[in-house]
Amino acid sequence: ATVFVSGATGYIALHVVDNLLKEGYSVIGSVRSQEKADHILKEFSNDCNLTLEIVPDISALDAFDDVFKRHGKDIKVVIHTASPVVFDPKDLDKDLLIPAINGTKSILESIKKYAADTVENVVITSSLAAQRKPSETNDSTVTIDENSWNNITMEEAHECVRNAYSASKVFAEKAAWEFLKNNADVVKFKLTTVMPGFVFGPQTFVDRSKSKFNHTIEIVRAIANAKTEDELYQCSGTYVDVRDVARAHLLAFQKKECAGERLSLSTSMFCTQSILNVINEDFPQLKGKITEGDPASENETLDNMMSFNNDKTKKLLGFDFIPLRKSIDDTVNQLFEFGAIN
């Protein structure tokens, strides 16, 4: 069967594409430029089951029309991962909200126009951001599950970047469920959304041409290079390993029980100090070079955070999630390979 993956250059998407090819699927991916396409084809040793198409800007409401006009009749599954993960945008609307929301609408409209009879499953990469407001992370009275929705408003979305990213994910996911409701008699696909927390874990390839990684790998890199407490990148939330995220994207369409579900991918709560503690404990070569922060503060921070319940998702997926320690160890080992740790 043929699977379409949008945003095939992404950190999560490359793992998804890798898993799909290993499981024998034909993959059509969208990327923003020919240069990126050539690079990825090379990384996958020009695998004949991988075709890449150029979709320069997902903000355009007809962004995916050309691709679906040409390939729509072959595509059985669509995995939509493309969405901006940028925290230094020039313009909150143009760089975050519009591409996230329009990208989701445009891919679903193209399916409706050119592949209504062929696409059976659509999997959309949503986020923990769609489950709770950023401010709720540090509220110990909050518990989120598969039914939780971030109720942020468009006005709040424009208050800061953190809110705008969060809103971009929840509005995009809502647009998808809304589309399905309005087009239930026109399209035949089943929808599943995948909502990962902060994603850590190794990248598919050690790509030495890259000077900047995706946002979450940059978080680990910053912490692993922080000489003083002031240099620590502060973040907290739920965590999940990228390899589990990729696996879930495949099971989301392979397992019938996942149809119509929102899969909540969270393994454990974490804060900056949790990552720092793992790095200091497991990489003695960094001792004295990086800060230890305040190792004992981790538990107190975690005690004051929200909690989550994703028993339903774990039962649907049926595999054990990779713990934070292994994920951080594997990420940091790869960063050493890249020469990205001083």
Residues binding ligand NDP (CB under 6 A): 7, 9-13, 32, 36, 57-59, 81-85, 99, 125, 127, 169, 196, 198-199, 214-216
**Smallest distance from ligand NDP to CB 199, Å:** 4
**Smallest distance from ligand NDP to CB 239, Å:** 9
CA distance 14 to 30: 11
E-only strand ranges, the chain:
2-6, 26-31, 50-54, 75-80, 121-125, 143-144, 190-196, 198-200, 236-241, 262-265, 268-271, 307-308
The SS3 assignment for 133 reads coil
**Smallest distance from ligand NDP to CB 326, Å:** 17
Shorter beta-carbon distance to ligand NDP: residue 170 or 187: 170
What are the tokens at 167? 């809103």
**Smallest distance from ligand NDP to CB 57, Å:** 5
Q: Is there a contact between 135 and 147 (Cβ–Cβ < 8 Å)?
A: no
What are the tokens at 58? 């997902």
Shorter beta-carbon distance to ligand NDP: residue 118 or 126: 126
> Could you identify the residue written with the tokens 């696909």?
189
Q: Which residue is nearest to ligand NDP (CB)?
A: 10
What are the tokens at 90? 């020039």
**Smallest distance from ligand NDP to CB 24, Å:** 23
Shorter beta-carbon distance to ligand NDP: residue 19 or 214: 214
Shorter beta-carbon distance to ligand NDP: residue 105 or 169: 169
**Smallest distance from ligand NDP to CB 296, Å:** 27
Shorter beta-carbon distance to ligand NDP: residue 292 or 330: 330
Q: Is there a contact between 193 and 148 (Cβ–Cβ < 8 Å)?
A: no
Residue type present at position 26:
S
Burial class (CB in 10 A: 0-12, 13-18, 19+), 326: middle
Shorter beta-carbon distance to ligand NDP: residue 118 or 237: 237
